[in-house]
Amino acid sequence: MELRELGRTGLKLSSVGFGASPLGNVYGSVSEQDAYASVRLAFQSGINFFDTSPYYGSTLSEEVLGKALKALNVPRSEYIVATKCGRYGDGFDFSAERVTKSIEESLERLQLDYVDILQCHDIEFGSLDQIVNETIPALQKLKESGKTRFIGITGLPLGIFTYVLDRVPPGTLDVILSYCHHSVNDSTLEDLVPYLKSKGVGIISASPMAMGLFTEAGPPEWHPASPELKSACKAAATYCKEKGKNISKLALQYSLLNKEISSVLVGMRSIEQVEENVATARELAASGIDEEALSEVGAILKPVKNQSWPSGIQQS
Ligand code: NAD
């Protein structure tokens, strides 16, 4: 598995990262056995980056990931763990007090002494000025205390990243995590890459399958896309299936193309999905992307190109 440097952190992340939200049962129930087996196979296949949050399954994902990582029985330095703070099963709280307590709780659930990355989760749901003036300074203290090695922010509207990065001193934030903006239907993150590089932050992109839109099984009930976007993505999946191709594979390959993006986080819930996604990354490295399928799928998705959905209370 290819390793890519994350900004100025010195961390080298596997190009495919393990998104652990499915371990919180957010895409349907996953047994602990399947969860452990998926994490083990991912690690054995060269995936070294695991992302979770106290929000996923109201702490379940952190708990299950913690047990699965412990069961690997390998030195802590061999895997990279990111978790988040500020978003919880019962709502948002980006206060310094809450996020400072939150990391202690996350470390306990993850059975770790430190995480590699701690991120404010979905900041568009809070006041961005509070994030700048209160939350990030609290995270900096946690970094100084060694509870996290690096800090970052996550969210959907891309404007939140420029708003915050323009208001904090250079070098304050180590990483940003964007989702659903670097896949076959929406490539808007690409435009922000030069700016993010100029700010020296590492870039993680999540949800290459657009949270299930680019799977043969289709998205979960709670998916926020418009009916128009859902139906275009379904048409793209059907096209691929009819041609004996796989939409999830094409979507992941597309997301992996930009090497300025250090890791593409894919939610995985079974050893079959881990096997498929690892094989997809290897095939891309060996033979490149399926240009014909990419072009056909691009044509099907053209009417909904870069269409997103509202998220949070910011107007970015
Ligand atoms: P995703 O686009 O990775 O899609 C996940 C869905 O695709 C799941 O249903 C999964 O079972 C399925 N899947 C995975 N591999 C497949 C394959 N080969 N074939 C068919 N289906 C497959 O979306 P996601 O899980 O929401 O995002 C990935 C990760 O990124 C999350 O788990 C989380 O760690 C992170 N994330 C963070 C944020 C944030 O911080 N705001 C937002 C979204 C995602």
Question: Could you report the per-residue pLDDT of 160-216, keeping only the tens digit for each?
Answer: 999 999 999 999 999 999 999 999 999 999 999 999 999 999 999 999 999 999 999
Instruction: Give me the interface pTM, i.e. the ipTM.
Output: 0.98
Ligand 1: residue whose CA is nearest its atom 42: 179
Identify the active-site residue in 27, 55, 56, 79: 56
Q: Is the CB of 57 under 6 A from ligand 1?
A: no
Q: Is the CB of 210 under 6 A from ligand 1?
A: yes
| Per-residue model confidence (pLDDT) at position 316 | 45
Q: Is the CB of 219 under 6 A from ligand 1?
A: no
Which atom of ligand 1 is nearest the CA belonging to 28? 9
CA of 167 to the centre of ligand 1 (A): 31
Q: Is the CB of 246 under 6 A from ligand 1?
A: no
56 catalytically annotated: yes
CA of 145 to the centre of ligand 1 (A): 31
Question: Could you report the per-residue pLDDT of 210-256, keeping only the tens digit for each?
Answer: 999 999 999 999 999 999 999 999 999 999 999 999 999 999 999 99
Task: Show Cβ contacts of residue 157 under 8 Å, excluding neighbours closer than 6 positions.
Answer: 124, 308, 311, 312, 314, 316
CA of 137 to the centre of ligand 1 (A): 30
**Mean pLDDT across 81-97:** 97
Give, in order, the Cα–Cα distances in Å from 5 to each of 14, 20, 205, 239, 296. 9, 21, 14, 36, 32
CA of 46 to the centre of ligand 1 (A): 18
Q: Is the pLDDT of residue 76 over 60?
A: yes
Which atom of ligand 1 is nearest the CA belonging to 53? 34
Ligand 1: residue whose CA is nearest its atom 16: 273
Ligand 1: residue whose CA is nearest its atom 34: 19
Question: Could you report the per-residue pLDDT of 116-159, keeping only the tens digit for each?
Answer: 999 999 999 999 999 999 999 999 999 999 999 999 999 999 99
* DSSP structure string for 252-301: HHHHHS-TTS-EEEEE--SHHHHHHHHHHHHHHHHH---HHHHHHHHHHH
| Per-residue model confidence (pLDDT) at position 202 | 98
Pick the CATH number of 3-304 from 3.20.20.100, 3.60.20.10, 3.40.980.10, 3.40.1190.20: 3.20.20.100
CA of 44 to the centre of ligand 1 (A): 20
Which atom of ligand 1 is nearest the CA belonging to 52? 34
Q: Is the CB of 25 under 6 A from ligand 1?
A: no
What DSSP character marks residue 11? -
| Per-residue model confidence (pLDDT) at position 27 | 85
Strands (E), 158-268: 175-179, 202-206, 263-267
304 phi and psi angles, rounded to 5 deg:
-115, 15
| Per-residue model confidence (pLDDT) at position 314 | 59
Please check whether residue 123 is in contact with residue 155, taking contact to mean a CB–CB distance below 8 angstroms.
Answer: yes
Question: Could you report the per-residue pLDDT of 17-50, keeping only the tens digit for each?
Answer: 999 999 999 888 999 999 999 999 999 999 999 9
Percent of all residues in the chain with a pLDDT value above 90, rounded to a whole number: 97
Q: Is the CB of 268 under 6 A from ligand 1?
A: yes
Ligand 1: residue whose CA is nearest its atom 15: 273
Question: What's the helix, strand, coil split of the chain in %, to 5?
Answer: 45, 20, 35
Average pLDDT of the chain?
Answer: 96
216 phi and psi angles, rounded to 5 deg:
-65, -30
Ligand 1: residue whose CA is nearest its atom 38: 179
Question: Could you report the per-residue pLDDT of 176-185, keeping only the tens digit for each?
Answer: 999 999 999 9
Q: Which amino acid is at 152?
A: G
| Per-residue model confidence (pLDDT) at position 28 | 87
